[in-house]
């Protein structure tokens, strides 16, 4: 994790900070969701506790803390308690893998009489070359938490909710995995940082062997893969079990699905898992199709030069650049999170056979067609038609 | 190597964080009082008709088996996708495309057969 004590401690603080960033997004998102749904349905929503109802979240958290612990009779105690803990894991690990901003370069400096060499800190939990494969693999672990919760509750509603959630997650994982092949064909890498670097500057591609530049559009993945982007976003809704894919929690049929028997903090942890998954999905959308942490047409280096021109040192300019670009990424993420919430309060729920048909018979063939068309188009464009 | 250490550290931290939350809640919350009625699993207030370990439709099992087949096939496409442009640039475009075309043909045939055999029909 680092060569000396400074680097190791910064890396540990960074990991914990990214984890807490994910956890603290949950109360804010719950507030946005409740207020947003209230505005959509012409209600007020929580507006009594504190300004705009913002401290409602703290009141909720305190109330969760003082709830009674309860395990249903004949429930499997160990599985019952470990399911919500395991639900935290996929979101936390996947989110830490996504680059949240440009890396920070720290110049060599002296402290306590010893030299500390130049450092490079990536603005992400850990840099991993196979980024997207790791994210896909770790997010599918979420199904285990749901199954454990459903099985250990000794409640038929929980069991059916968990089975539905599992079948739905694995079905849409196919469409999700296949919709990404198209964009991987274009980027030619698994690494998030290289994908973001690819998307800098104006739209620029090879057309029949000649380079073409369209100066008024950024070089974002959405312009290469519009169908892939839509398929990925729809599959993400199903993966996060959000409406219109919230069959696992269909309250008219299954009470509350796999967390029927859960209350208090344990239920909150399932929510952290779900919102963490949403956060990862939004960050993936921004990274794959909307230029990641970069502003359109503005390269990371020019932002760095701008801050250096304001009189920051080299280290200061690097830190300022990283935090500024982090805000840019977060603005993009917030747009997608709002779409998640907006859709939830606008669309009705599917029936179960419709849901399975959409995943297997519509999205999977579309993603397959997208892959084939992309491969053919790249082959023709690159070779200039001279096969 | 350093990424692996970071993953293990973050994973351990997350699990400890979750366990600590549950532990704190169990200390702060009221002591549970047990009674045979309260401890039964929830079923809309009625006496319990069916426990959570009853029979489940085999359809879910079938879906899981089909998923494994297709997921493995999709994972095979990933290394192909990232090396595709490199092969074209070296002049082996037709080779790398037709290699995957054979694989995709089997994939599509499998999908058609699966839909025709009504393995994905839900009543």
pLDDT, tens digit, 9 for 90 and up, residues B101-116: 898 898 889 888 888 8
Distance CA A377, CA B10 (A): 42
CB-CB neighbors (< 8 A) of B44 in chain A: 255
CB-CB neighbors (< 8 A) of A147 in chain B: none
The count of CB pairs under 8 A between chains A and B is 215
Expressed as residue numbers, the domain containing A116 is 5-383
CB-closest option in B75, B88, B120 to A356? B120
Average pLDDT on A206-225 reads: 79
* Nearest CA-CA partner of A338 in A292, A276, A279: A279
pTM for the full model?
0.87
Q: In the 8-state DSSP scheme, what is residue A363? A: I
Domain count, chain A: 1
- Cα R_g (chain B), whole angstroms: 26
CB contact under 8 A, A1 and B6: yes
CA of A74 vs chain B CAs: smallest distance (Å):
8
- Nearest C-alpha in A relative to B44: A255
Task: Identify the structural domains of chain B with CATH numbers, from first to last.
Answer: 2-116 (1.20.58.1610)
The separation between CA A276 and the C-alpha centre of its own chain, rounded to angstroms, equals 7
ipTM above 0.85 for this complex: no
Distance CA A257, CA A275 (A): 17
Distance CA A160, CA A257 (A): 7
* Nearest CA-CA partner of B50 in A160, A145, A146: A160
Highest-scoring range by mean pLDDT, A43-47, A272-276, B42-46, B88-92: A272-276
CB-CB neighbors (< 8 A) of B85 in chain A: 185-186, 188, 378, 382
E strands, A90-140, are 101-106, 109-111, 114-116, 119-123
The answer for residues whose C-beta is within 8 angstroms of residue A126's C-beta and 6 or more apart is A15, A96, A97, B2, B3, B6, B7, B10
Summarised one tens digit per residue, pLDDT across range A48-65 is 777 877 888 888 888 888
CB-closest option in B19, B41, B74 to A72? B41
CB contact under 8 A, A19 and B84: no
Summarised one tens digit per residue, pLDDT across range A80-113 is 888 889 888 888 889 888 888 888 887 777 777 6
Distance CA A83, CA A150 (A): 9
CB-CB neighbors (< 8 A) of B107 in chain A: 368
B95 or A251, higher pLDDT? B95
Residues in chain A: 387
């Amino acid at each position: 994790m680092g060569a000396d004590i400074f680097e190791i401690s910064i890396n540990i603080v960074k990991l914990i900070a990214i984890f807490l960033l994910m956890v603290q997004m949950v109360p804010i998102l719950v507030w946005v969701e409740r207020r947003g749904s209230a505005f959509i349905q012409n209600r007020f929503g929580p507006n009594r506790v504190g300004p705009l109802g913002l401290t409602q979240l703290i009141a909720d958290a305190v109330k969760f803390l003082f709830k009674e612990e309860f395990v249903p009779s004949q429930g499997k105690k160990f599985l019952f308690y470990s399911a919500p803990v395991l639900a935290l894991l996929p979101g936390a690990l996947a989110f830490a893998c996504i680059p949240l901003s440009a890396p920070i370069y720290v110049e060599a400096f002296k402290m306590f009489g010893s030299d500390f060499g130049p450092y490079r800190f990536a603005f992400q939990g850990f840099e991993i070359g196979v980024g997207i494969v790791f994210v896909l693999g770790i997010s599918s672990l979420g199904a285990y938490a749901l199954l454990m919760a459903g099985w250990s509750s000794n409640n038929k509603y929980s069991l059916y909710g968990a089975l539905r959630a599992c079948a739905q997650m694995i079905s849409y994982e196919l469409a999700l995995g296949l919709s990404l092949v198209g964009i991987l064909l274009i980027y030619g890498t698994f690494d998030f940082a290289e994908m973001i670097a690819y998307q800098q500057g104006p739209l620029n591609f090879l057309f029949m062997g000649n380079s073409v530049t369209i100066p008024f559009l950024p070089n974002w993945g959405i312009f290469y893969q519009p169908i892939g982007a839509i398929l990925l976003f729809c599959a993400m809704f199903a993966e996060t079990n959000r409406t219109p894919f919230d069959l696992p929690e269909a309250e008219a049929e299954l009470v509350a699905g796999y967390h029927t028997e859960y209350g208090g903090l344990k239920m909150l942890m399932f929510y952290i898992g779900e919102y963490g998954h949403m956060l990862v999905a939004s960050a993936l959308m921004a990274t794959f199709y909307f230029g990641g942490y970069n502003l359109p047409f503005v390269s990371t280096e020019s932002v760095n030069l701008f801050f250096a021109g304001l009189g920051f040192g080299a280290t200061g300019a690097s830190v300022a650049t990283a935090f500024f670009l982090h805000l840019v990424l977060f603005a993009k993420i917030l747009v997608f999170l709002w779409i998640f919430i907006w859709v939830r309060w606008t669309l009705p729920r599917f029936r179960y056979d419709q849901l399975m048909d959409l995943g297997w018979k519509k999205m999977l063939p579309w993603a397959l067609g997208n892959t084939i068309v992309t491969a053919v188009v790249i082959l023709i464009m690159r070779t200039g038609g001279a096969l | 190597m350093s990424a692996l250490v970071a993953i293990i550290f973050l994973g351990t931290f997350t699990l400890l964080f979750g366990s600590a939350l549950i532990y704190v809640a169990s200390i702060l919350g009221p002591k549970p009082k047990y009674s045979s009625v309260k401890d039964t699993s929830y079923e809309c207030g009625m006496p319990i008709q069916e426990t959570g370990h009853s029979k489940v439709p085999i359809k879910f099992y079938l879906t899981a088996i089909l998923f494994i087949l297709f997921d493995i096939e999709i994972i095979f496409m990933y290394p192909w996708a990232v090396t595709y442009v490199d092969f074209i640039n070296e002049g082996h475009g037709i080779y790398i495309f037709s290699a995957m075309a054979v694989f995709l043909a089997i994939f599509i045939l499998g999908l058609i057969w699966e839909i025709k055999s009504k393995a994905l029909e839900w009543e």
